[in-house]
Structure 1
Amino acid sequence: MAAPRGIFRVEALQNLLTDLCASPVTVDRLERLEPWAVARVWLRSASALPCSVVVKWVPDGQREARTAPWRLRNELAALQFLSEDLGVGLAPRVFAADTTARFLVLEDLAPRVPLDRLLRRDGAAAHRDRLAAFARARGALSAATAGRAEAYYARRAELGPVDAAADPAGRLALLRAGGIDHASSLGVPLGGRASYELTSVFDELSAPGPFLALSNGDAEANNILLHDSGPAEARLIDFEFAGCTHALTDAVCLYVPGPAWLTVGNPSTTGLADEYRHALALGIPEAEDDRRYGDGLAAACVSWALVRLQRFALLDTRSQGDHSRLQLIATLEAAADTAQTCRALPHLTTWIRRIAAVLRHRWPDADQDFADSARFPPYRARH
């Protein structure tokens, strides 16, 4: 069959699977899963292949960040590392790959659906068990891969050059720096003890010690698939930005809004914090140490807040009532609240709260009470 424009070559897929199975494999039909470069493909074959697979490819004609071949290699290495090297069933299996043609053939996880779709449709209260599975899966991924960075990068290096030293420090260093610059432009420059504490944040994240573990690089609710009903068997997806980094960067999504949300609630009262931490401690016993855990969590949340602050110049041009303004203030304050609860980074926390206060004054439409659970329930979507 002919494929729609802009996707992988069906003939290349059929040839790859035919060679793999040593018997003819034909594409019966396919459905592109917009807006991603992903398609569900139904097969006709006498082999042991399932009747449907998912194909993910590198699209043409988009900006370099979307077409960089290293993203495909990251995904392939991470998924093979989890399933083949560690025997961990937290992510889809890879059936085949053609890095030259730039596509992967993955296990079809249907009828699982993205958690964020369920949260948007029904609200967080209806999916507490799935949110708990989300938290456990994030902790389990780190627990299973802690101390295995060398093995992961050895597999990744087989697919092409990789800078293993860049991942612990984070690929977002320039964005954090941009956030600090924006704070200065708002009249809240970093200095004194807050500056010293920020150095300790960067030290913590760049040298995680026992907390160094594999992350998919985007620990949000859209990148975990679960059944709509029935058992909450979670599978993590989207490993394009996979790399080994501080495990607690994967916990930030439980405490601080990600790109999709205005609020995420308080994981300490909903039980998500305990679900995550218990799963993490199975592979990283140091997670039981309150001081060590708190310092790492506070550092990860503050780092994320600064990454989001780099969007200030863009948001300042938005019209009154834009949800992104609300989200930025909520993000800053949630990061500060988390650090305060962890009894960490007191001067940095004060600095972040000052930035949020300035933004509330600058954007009166965004000066709202996020503690009002009727208006801002957990996982209220940003529009």
Structure 2
Amino acid sequence: MAAPKQIFRVDALQNLLTDLRDVPVTVDRWEHVEPWAVARVWLRSAAALPRSVVVKWIPDGLRESRNALWRLRSELAALQFLSEDLDVGLAPRVLAADTAAGLLVLEDLAPRVCLDQLLRRDGAAAHGDRLAAFARARGALSAATAGRVDTYYTRRGKLGPVDAAADQVGRFAPLREGAIEHASALGVPLSGRSAHEFTAALEELAAPGPFLALSNGDAEANNILLHASGPADARLIDFEFAGYTHALTDAVCLYVPGPAWLTVGDPTTTGLADQYRHALARGIPGAEDDRRYGDGLAAASLSWALIRLHRFALLDTRSPGDHSRLQLIATLEAAAHTAETHRALPHLTSWIRRIAAVLRRRWPDADQDFADSASFPPYRARH
């Protein structure tokens, strides 16, 4: 059971649902989905409600936090936008909400489970169909929402202040500057043609044109639910950081390791790249343009690698063998490989490879062959 400060107010939930349905609704039992402020709740009522729902709440200690309120409002707006404005079955439906009480009541998507749980348990080879569904769902979200930015922000603005420009830049973007400083301290300063291409990459991400689309803000395998077997009927979750940004930032997770993984494999050989791109092109025809697509994907991948490089100072203090060191080098090299595959940003890519080479020399324990599929299969977890 959660600590008291983490428990949602059962009476507030019962009152919310009772008022909504005009008949008494009682919480029968509930189960905390740790470590988040999320619970699966079983209900008793004569109302036409599901037997179980998922409740997300703001813990008491964060009830007045601007950031917590902003995140709850963003999730509410994004989920209602997808289900009510667009009518696409890509995410859970909102059943009830009380922003003042910090409560969201969502459709329970069980028995679906998080994809990352399946990958950790069984390995990627056992879940090719579900990885393909993951790739399609990421592309489908962008395809469905491209061109609807005004509709989303009109809905989001009714719930409270929002900075659309900040959404577009991305909440991690400021970390790139620290990464550039680390690179300089390592003896690999950003200069000349590399600096010019870095500026071009930032301009691509800041002005996505037709690639402007809604993202949930965390496009990783832990934020998609699928059936462990049978049809790969995917649903995306966790829209707390939702906002419109460059669609191809959501493709990076297929090419470059996220926080949970040491490797993700090569999506061009597994077919995941095509699954994503075909789904994306249904709503963004420009995705079929190799040059435009490659430039955007390279910019997004290299940007993500720099965002991860901001952790260098922390990782440099860790003991040899720490998986985070392996992960940082793998991330830099995977981003460089992605740009090289799409023949984009060659000088910036070379700069990233030089940083990775310096880290391999600095951390001999992390100087390993990530192409060795026996030691580093796709979706090998970071410990």
For the criterion TM > 0.5, the same-fold answer is yes
**Alignment CA distance shift 1:169-1:353 (3 Å):** same
Q: Which residues of 2 match residues 296-311 of structure 1 at below 5 A?
A: 296-311=296-311
**C-alpha distance 172-185 of structure 1, shift in aligned 2 (>3 A):** same
Q: Is the aligned partner of 1:325 residue 2:325? A: yes
Secondary structure of the residue aligned to 2:174 is: helix
Map of 1:14 onto structure 2: 14
CA spacing shift, 1:299–1:63, aligned 2, 3 Å: farther
Which residue does 1:377 correspond to in 2? 377
8 A Cα contact 1:58 1:67, kept in partner = no
Give the TM-score normalised by the residue count of structure 2: 0.98
1:244 matched to 2:244? The reply is: yes
What SS does structure 2 have at the residue aligned with 1:230? coil
Name stretches of at least 5 consecutive residues in structure 1 with no aligned partner: none
Q: Within the alignment, does 1:75 sit opposite 2:102 as a pair? A: no
Whether 1:207 aligns to 2:200 is: no
Give the secondary-structure state (helix, strand or coil) at the position aligned to 2:6.
coil
Matches within 5 A, 1:176-191: 176-191=176-191
SS of residue paired to 2:374: coil
Displacement after TM superposition at 1:107 (Å): 0.3
- Note closer, same or farther for the CA distance 1:197–1:163 as it changes in structure 2 (3 Å cut): same
> Which amino acid letter does the alignment assign opposite residue 18 of structure 1?
T
Find the counterpart in structure 2 of residue 225 from structure 1. Answer: 225
**Which position in structure 2 is the counterpart of 1:340?**
340
Q: Which amino acid aligns with 1:204?
A: E
Query: What is the distance in 2 between the residues matched to 1:102 and 1:93?
Result: 17
Matches within 5 A, 1:351-370: 351-370=351-370
Q: Aligned-pair distance for 1:120?
A: 0.2
Q: For the structure 1 residues 6 and 266, does the alpha-carbon distance in structure 2 shift closer, same or farther, using more than 3 Å as the test?
A: same
Residue aligning to 1:175: 175
Cα 1:65/1:114, change in 2 over 3 Å: farther
CA offset at residue 58 of structure 1?
A: 1.4
1:56 aligned residue: 56
Q: Could you say which residue in structure 1 is the equivalent of 2:147?
A: 147
1:178 Cα shift? 1.0
- For residues 124 and 183 of structure 2, the distance between their equivalents in structure 1, rounded to whole angstroms, comes to 33
Residue 321 (structure 1) shift: 0.2
Residue 225 of structure 1: SS of its match in structure 2? Answer: strand
Q: CA deviation at 1:170?
A: 1.8
Q: Which amino acid aligns with 2:23?
A: S
User: Which sections of structure 2, spanning at least 5 residues, go unmatched?
Assistant: none
Give the superposed CA RMSD.
1.5
2:132 corresponds to: 132
Give the aligned residue type for 2:50. P
Q: Cα offset for 1:173?
A: 2.0
Task: Judge which range, 165-174 or 256-265, deviates more.
Answer: 165-174
Q: Secondary structure at the residue paired with 2:368?
A: coil
Instruction: Please give the secondary structure, in 2, of the residue aligned with 1:165.
Output: helix
1:5 and 1:51 mapped to 2: Cα distance? 26
Find the counterpart in structure 1 of residue 102 from structure 2.
Answer: 102
- Quote the Cα distance in structure 2 between the aligned partners of 1:62 and 1:13: 18
Equivalent in the alignment of 2:198: 198
Once the 2 structures are TM-superposed, how far is the Cα of residue 67 of structure 1 from its aligned partner?
5.4
Share of identical aligned residues, percent? 82
- The match for 2:166 is 166
Is contact 1:3-1:9 (8 Å) kept? no
Are the counterparts in 2 of residues 79 and 92 from structure 1 also a CA contact under 8 Å? yes
Q: Which residue of 1 aligns with 2:288?
A: 288
Moved over 4 A (4+): 2-5, 62-67
Paired AA for residue 232 in structure 2: A
**Alignment deviations for residues 45-99 of structure 1 (CA, whole Å, 9 cap, x no partner):** 1111000000001124469989521000000000000001100110000000010
Query: What CA distance in whole angstroms lies between the structure 1 residues aligned with 2:71 and 2:11?
Result: 23
**Distance (whole Å) between structure 1 residues aligned to residue 13 and residue 310 of structure 2:** 41
Give the deviation of 1:237 after TM superposition.
0.2
Q: Counterpart of 1:104 in 2: which secondary structure?
A: strand
Q: Distance in 2 between matches of 1:65 and 1:281?
A: 39
- Closer, same or farther: CA 63–192 of 1 in aligned 2, 3 Å: farther
Question: Bigger CA drift: 213-222 or 177-186?
Answer: 177-186
Q: Is the 8 A contact 1:179 1:309 kept in 2?
A: yes
Cα distance, 1:361–1:62 mapped onto 2, change above 3 Å: farther
CA distance in 2 between counterparts of 1:180 and 1:230 reads 46
Q: Displacement, 1:186?
A: 0.7
Q: Which residue of 2 aligns with 1:270?
A: 270
User: TM-score w.r.t. structure 1 length?
Assistant: 0.98
Q: C-alpha separation between the residues in 1 aligned to 2:311 and 2:13?
A: 40
For residues 316 and 116 of structure 1, the distance between their equivalents in structure 2, rounded to whole angstroms, comes to 28
Q: 2: distance between equivalents of 1:192 and 1:151?
A: 42
> Counterpart amino acid of 1:40?
R
Q: Which deviations, in whole Å up to 9, do the C-alpha atoms of 1:168-210 show, x marking residues without a partner? A: 2222221111111111111100000000000011100000000
Q: Which residue of 2 aligns with 1:88?
A: 88
